[in-house]
A and B are shown apart, each in its own frame.
Chain A
Amino acid sequence: MDIDMDMPLPEELELLEANSHFYEEPYLDSPPRDPCPPKSPPSENLEIEGPKRPRESVETEPSAEENKRTKTNEIEEEEEDWLPYSAPQETNVAAAVEKDEEVYLSRYASAIDGDFLPVTAPSGGERVYAKISRAQRDEGFKKLNLKERSNGLIFEPVNVLLQRVEQQAFAKALQASSEHLSDITLPDTPMVHEQLWVDKYAPSSFTELLSDEQTNREVLLWLKQWDSCVFGSEIRSTSDEVLSALRRHSTQHQKSFDSNFSRKSRGHRWSNGSYRPINNVGHGTNNLKGMQDLWNKKSRVTGPPEQKILLLCGPPGLGKTTLAHVAAQHCGYRVVEVNASDDRSSSTIEAKILDVVQMNSVMADARPKCLVIDEIDGALGDGKGAVEVILKMVSAEKKSDSGKENNANKKGRKITSLSRPVICICNDLYAPALRPLRQVAKVHIFVQPTVSRIVSRLKYICSKEGMKTSSIALTALAEFTECDIRSCLNTLQFLNKKKEALNVMEISSQVVGRKDISKSAFDIWKEIFQKRKMKQDRKSNSSSGSGYGEFDFLHSLISNRGDYDVILDGIHENLLQLQYHDPVMQKTVKCLNSLGISDLMQHYVIRTQQMPLQVYQPSVAITLHRIVAQVQKPTIEWPKSYQRYRTMLMEKADILRSWHQKIPPYISRHLSTKSCIEDLISPLLHILSPPNLRPVALHLLSETEKNSLAQLVNVMVSYSITYKNMKSDSLSSNLGHKEVLDASVLSFEPPIGEFISYKDYRSDHHVLALAMKQVLLHEVEKQKILQVSTGKSVHRSDKCSNGDQDFIGKEASGAKSAKMIGENAGAGTKNYENVKNISNTRQGNSSTSTISSSLVSSRSATAGAKQKSTADTRKPTSGFNFFERFRNPTSKGSQDSEIAAVKEVTLERDLRPVLYKFNEGFTNAVKRPVRMREFLL
C-alpha cells in the first residue's frame, strides 16, 4: 500500500523519514485530554481523524463529512497537478503524502499499473512516475459507504469500529516501518560504517528489556502514576493490565513504537469508559475555565506519585539508561536526557530542568517530556547542581501542597513544582552528592539479570549477525563480565569483526576488557571474610592456580578500591566477630600481628611520603583472608569505633587543655596534661568531695570544719573548678547521684568527673549533697572575688614591684567569673556587697588589661567610671548598695558615677590620704579636687 521508494541517497531518506514523523506528530500528540481540539486538521490526517471524532458530529453532519472528504480528494488532485511545476519540492511533498495518501512513486513506469504521471527532478534530471490513483478513490468510496451504513444503524459499537480502524493504522505503520528498515539496511550492507551492536540491538520495547522483571514493572508503574497528572487520565489499575496491553503490541516492530504507544494509550482511554465525553456533555459551554477547574479537581484526587523522583542505581552495563528510555517512551513521554557530558552547573541545569518540566513544546514533538538525568553521581562538583535544583523543586511542591489548594496548586505548578517525571540514574547509590536525593526519591537498585536471560539474548543477536557461538561460551562470557550486557556485546562484535570464534577456555586471555570496577568497601570486606565457593573446574585446572587466582582477584579488588585505611579498620572492627575455629588464639594473634604490620607500614608511608610502598597493603588483607575466611556469610559493620575514639579523644583533650590553661601558671606549669589525667584527677575528685562535710549553714560549722571548708574552697579556686548547673540526667546517673529534682544538677565546671567515668565501671567517689554543692559554689565565688580584691590591694601597696603577673592572670579569670555569677551570690553581708562593687569596676579594668603599677588605680577608676556611665544593667542596684554604704551627709555632691573610683580605696582607706585627680578619659561630671577624708568620714 505504500510507495516503493528507491531513492539513491540515504541522507535523503533520512530527511524523508523526519518529515514523515513531522506530519504524524500533531496528530499523535494533540493533547488527548483536550475535549474539542481545534478543528483545522491537515488533510492527510482526515482519514483517521474522522472516525475518531466525537460521535455526535458524525451523526449529525454526515454531509459535512462527505464534503470534506471530497474536498480533500480535490486537494490531493490539485497537489498532484501541481507537482510537475514545483519539482524542487517534490520529495518533500511526496514524503508528506507518502503514508496516508495513496500516491505511488516509482522510477519505473512498469512498476506502476494504471495511470501515471512522469515527474522530472531539475537537479539530477531523474525521472519518477507518480501514479494517479484510481484505487484510492475507490477505497475512499468504499469507506464512505461503510460509514453511511454505520451512520444509519450502528450495530457495531463504536469501540469495535475504533479498534478496527486502529488495527488498520497499526498494520499500515508496521508495513511502513518494515519497509523503512529494509531500506535502511540495504544500502548499509557494504559496511561503510558499522553500527555498534549495542546500539543496534538496544531494546526498544518494553518486553525486550533484559533487566529484572520486577524492577521493570515497578519503574513502569511509577511512570504510570504520573498519567493522571500529565495526561489527565486515571491510573489504569494494576501493572498486569499494562503488561497485558503490552503483550498485545509486543509483536509490533520497533520503529513504529511512537505511534504504537500513543495510539494504544488513546485506545485505552476510549475503551475504558469515556470519562471525558460525558464531562463534556455536562459542561455544555466547554469553556476553558471550566475545563481548568475540572482538571484541578481531578489532579487533587489523583495527583502524581508520592515520590516524584525515581533513582535507578546499579553497576554499569545492566541497562539502566535503556530501561529509563524505553519505559518513558512506552508511557508516551518524550525523553530528554541530561548526562555527564552536558553542562551541569547549577544555573544551566536549572533552566534546562524547568524547561523540560514545566513547558511543552508547541513545535515539533508535543509529547510531554520526561527528564532522564544520567550519571547523576558522576561529577561531584557540578552534578550537585542538578540534585539541588531537583530537591528545591520537590520541596517547593510540598510547600505549595500544604498551602492553599486551588490557586496555589495552579500557581505552584507554574513556578517551581515538578509536574513531569524525573528519572535519575547513578552507579553508586551512596555517593555523597546523592545523600539528600536518596531521601526523597524512590530508589530502585538494579540487580544482575539472570545469566540465562542474557545468554538467550546474546544468542539471538549472534544468530541475527550470523555469528557462530555456543551457549556455553556465551554463558562463560556473561559470567566473566558479571552480566554486563554492554561489554558482552562489544566483545562479541569485536570477535565477529576479527572473524574469531568465542573460545570458552580462553575468555580471560581473550580480548574481553575487564572492567575496572571499584567495589564498595562492604563488598571487599565480604570478599575478605568469606571464602568463595571455588569453581570446580578452576580448581581441577591446577592446584596451585586456584590460590594464585584468588590472590590475584583479591589484590586487584583491594587495590582498585584504594583507601586501605578504611579497609583495614573494617577488618579490625569485624575480625573478632567472625566464627572461626581458633582453640589457642593463634589465628587471632596472627591476624592482629598483620594488622599491626599494616599500621606500621601506613605510618611509615605517611611519614616518609613514600607512596609507592602502599602497594604492599593489599597483601596484608590477603593474609588475613587466608587465615580467617569462612564459608558462611559474615555480618559486617562499618568501622565506627575508631573514628568515634578519635573524635571523643579530641573532645576530651580539648576540655583538658582548656582547663589546664585556666589553672594559674604557678600550678599548671608543673603539670602536663598527661600527668593531670594520670595522677591528679582521681585524688582531686576525692579531695573535692570530702565525705565528712556537713551540709549545714556556715555558722553552724565547727572551727575545724570551717578550716577544711576553707581549704576545699581554696583548692577549687586555685584549680579553677566550680560547680555548674547541668540539665543532663545522664551525668547524674553516671555519678550515681540520685536526684529528686532532676532538673538542675550541679556538676563540676570543667567536667573532670567525666574523665573517670568508664563504661561498666563504678568509682567509689563520694558525691556531695546538692545543698553542699551550692554552699561550695557560693563560697568559691566569694573567694574568687576576695582574691581579686586582695590581689588588687597587694598590688597597689607595694608599688615598686612591677606587677605580680600571677595575680593579674588570676584576677582576670576571677573577674570574669565574678561577672557571671554576680547576681547568684546572694549572701548579703555588707562586706560582700562592697567586694562586689569592686569586682564590677575591675571588670572594666581587666578588659583593658595592661596594668602598670603607679597609674593603675586612677586609670582603672576612670575605666570603671566610664563603664558605669555606659549602660550596664546591673549597675543601678550595685551602685545603690554602694551608696547606701556611704550614706554620709558630707558627700552629697559627689553622688555621681565617679564615686566608683573610691571603691578602690575602701580597703586601705586608713593607710594614707590620697588625692585623686581626674584628667584622663571622658566623664561629664563636675571635676574638682576632693580629699579622700571627705568621703570616708
Chain B
Amino acid sequence: MLWVDKYRPKTLDQAMVHQDIALNLKKLVAEQDCPHLLFYGPSGSGKKTLIMALLRQIFGPSAEKVKVENRNWKIDAGNRTIDLELTTLSSTNHVELSPSDVGFQDRYIVQEIIKEMAKNRPIDTKGKKGYKVLVLNEVDKLSREAQHSLRRTMEKYSASCRLILCCNSSSKVTEAIRSRCLNIRINAPSEEQIIKVLEFIGKKEGLQLPSGFAARIAEKSNRSLRRAILSFETCRVQQYPFTSKQAIPPMDWEEYISEIATDIMKEQSPKRLFQVRGKVYELLVNCIPPEIVLKRLLHELLKKLDAELKHEVCHWAAYYEHRMRLGQKAIFHIEAFVAKFMSIYKAFLIATFG
C-alpha cells in the first residue's frame, strides 16, 4: 500500500486535518440523525476520507466491507429502452456511485436507479439506523436535468435515505440541491497542516526528515494532501537519507505544460501556435482535463510574465475558460487563449522594445 492509503484516517477521531469539521460531523451523527450532506472542495483535500470516516461513525466497521458491483440497468424511457452500465460500491447500509459516469444519460440514473435505491428501506432496522446512505460522487458533473430530478428524490425519500453528495465545486450544483443539503466546505489543507501530516508519517515510518524538507514538499504540492504524501514517498524511494536540497520529482504533465509555456514565450506566431496545438492535444489525449491544462498553463505563463500584463492575461484566461465550459471542443478555446496571450505579449514586446 502507498502511504496515502496506509495513513488515511479511518475514523473521525483520527482525522489530522479538518479536525473541526470532523468534530462537527461526529456531533451531528451522535444525535441519531443526519441531514443530506454536500461536501465540496478541491481534490486532495480529504472529502472522501471524511465521508468514509463518517460512514464508519454511523454504521460501525461494517461500512468498510464493501463489494464492487458492475450492474446493468434497462430503463424504459418512453418508446425505447436504454441500457446503462454503472459500477457501484455497496455495503449493507450504503451505496456509492458516480452517476456522471454514464454521460449524458445520467438523468435516467437519477430518475430510476437512485430513486429505486432510495425507496428501499433497509430491512434490518432493529438497533440500527433506520436509513441508508447514498453517496454520489462528482455531482458537479451531473447534467442540469439530472440535478433537477435529484432534488425531488431528496425530498420524497428523506425518511429512508440520506444522500451524501461530493463534488469539487459547489457552483455547478444547482441552488435547489444546495439548499436541501448541509453544505460542508472542505478546504485544501494549509501548508502547515500538510507539514504536520508529513512529519507524522515520517515519524511512523522512522525516517529522518531534514528541516525544511517537508515544507518544500508541501509548497510544491499545491496544497493537495494526496500529492504531498505521494511526492514524499517518491522522494523516499528515490533517495533515502534525505538531503534538504533533494530534488522533488515534478508531475510529468506539469513539466510538459511548462515546456509549452516556454515555447509560447519564445515565439509568437501562427506557426508556433500550431505546434502548441499539437502539444495540447498530447495532453488532452492523456486524459488530462482541459480546465486543468488551461489553469496550469496560465500558472506557468504568469510566472514568466511582466507584472503589468498579469491582470489582463488572467482576465482572458477566465474568459476562455468560461467559454470552454460552455462549449464542447476544448481545444478551440485553449488555443484561442494561447493566441490571445501571444497577441497581448507581442504587442507588449513591440511597445516596450520597439
A interface residues (Cβ-Cβ under 8 A, vs B): 572, 575-578, 580, 582-586, 588-589, 592-593, 595-596, 599-600, 602-604, 606, 641-642, 645, 648-649, 652-653, 656, 661, 665-667, 669-670, 672-675, 677-684, 686-687, 690-692, 708, 714-715, 718-719, 754-756, 758-761, 763-764, 802-806, 808-809
Contact = CB atoms under 8 A, between A and B. Distances in A.
Contacts of B70: 661
A914 B231 CA distance: 50
B332 A666 contact: no
Given A593-B336, A669-B89, A672-B138, A684 B323 contact: no
B75 interface: no
Contacts of B227: 679, 683
A760 B279 contact: yes
Interface stretch (B22-30, B33-41, B178-186, B265-273): B265-273
B279 A759 contact: yes
A266 B2 CA distance: 92
B104 to A, nearest CB: 9
Among all A-B residue pairs, the 10 with the closest Cβ atoms? A592-B336, A683-B230, A756-B252, A585-B343, A576-B274, A599-B327, A805-B67, A686-B234, A603-B328, A690-B237
Contacts of A680: 226, 230
B120 interface: no
Interface stretch (B111-119, B149-157, B190-198, B283-291): B283-291
B226 A603 contact: no
Contact of A588 (B64, B273, B283, B347): B273
B1 A667 contact: yes
Given A596-B333, A672-B138, 5 more contacts: A588-B343, A596-B332, A642-B329, A675-B43, A677-B253
B335 interface: yes
Contacts of A679: 43-44, 224, 226-227, 230, 251
B82 interface: no
Interface string B222-233: 001011001101
B216 interface: no
Given A585-B342, A656-B287, A809 B332 contact: no
B48 interface: yes
B96 interface: yes
A603 B339 contact: no
A589 B1 contact: no
B249 A764 contact: yes
Interface in B298-354: 320, 323, 326-329, 331-333, 335-336, 339-340, 342-343, 346-347, 350
B285 A677 contact: no
14 contacts: A576-B270, A588-B343, A589-B336, A592-B335, A642-B329, A642-B331, A669-B48, A682-B251, A684-B230, A686-B234, A686-B249, A763-B255, A809-B67, A809-B68
B10 to A, nearest CB: 10
A675 B230 CA distance: 12
Contacts of B98: 672
A589 B287 contact: no
B242 interface: no
Interface residues of B, number: 80
Contact of B252 (A572, A692, A758): A758
B93 to A, nearest CB: 13
Contacts of B331: 572, 642, 645
B262 interface: no
Nearest to A691: B238
A649 B279 contact: no
A672 B233 CA distance: 20
A678 B270 contact: no
A600 B325 CA distance: 9
Contacts of A653: 287
A672 B137 contact: yes
A675 B226 contact: yes
B277 interface: yes
A675 B284 CA distance: 14
A674 B42 CA distance: 12
B176 interface: no
B323 A596 contact: yes
Nearest to B66: A665
Contacts of A583: 346
Contacts of A603: 326-328
B346 A641 contact: no
Nearest to A764: B249
B97 to A, nearest CB: 11
Nearest to A602: B328
Contacts of B251: 678-679, 682-683
Nearest to A681: B252
Contact of A673 (B231, B281, B287, B328): B287
Contacts of A667: 1, 5
B281 to A, nearest CB: 5
Contacts of B234: 683, 686-687
A585 B238 contact: no
A675 B44 contact: yes
A677 B292 CA distance: 11
A670 B48 contact: yes
B67, B137, B329 — most chain A CB neighbours (10 Å): B329
A578, A588, A600, A714 — most chain B CB neighbours (10 Å): A588
A522 B112 CA distance: 46
A249 B44 CA distance: 90
A680 to B, nearest CB: 7
A718 B1 contact: yes
B210 interface: no
B52 interface: yes
Nearest to A587: B270
A585 B269 contact: yes
B339 A588 contact: yes
A461 to B, nearest CB: 52
A677 B286 contact: yes
Nearest to A688: B237
Contacts of B60: none
Given A686-B234, A687-B234, A758-B279, A645 B285 contact: yes
A439 B240 CA distance: 64
B338 to A, nearest CB: 9
A566 to B, nearest CB: 13
A297 to B, nearest CB: 61
B274 A677 contact: no
Nearest to B224: A679
Interface in B203-257: 224, 226-227, 230-231, 233-234, 237-240, 249-253, 255-256
B199 interface: no
Given A645-B281, A686-B237, A805-B65, A674 B273 contact: no
Contacts of B233: 683, 687
A672 B346 CA distance: 40
B8 interface: yes
B270 A718 contact: no
B286 A758 contact: yes
A568 to B, nearest CB: 9
Contacts of B253: 677-678, 682, 756, 758
Contacts of A806: 64-66
B105 interface: no
Contact of A678 (B43, B68, B335): B43
B278 A759 contact: yes
Given A585-B268, A652-B285, A679-B230, A803 B332 contact: no
Contacts of A809: 67-68
B236 to A, nearest CB: 8
A575 B4 CA distance: 46
Contacts of B335: 592
A806 B91 CA distance: 10
B205 to A, nearest CB: 10
A719 B67 CA distance: 17
B248 to A, nearest CB: 10
Contacts of B231: 683
B57 interface: no
Given A585-B268, A586-B343, A756 B286 contact: yes
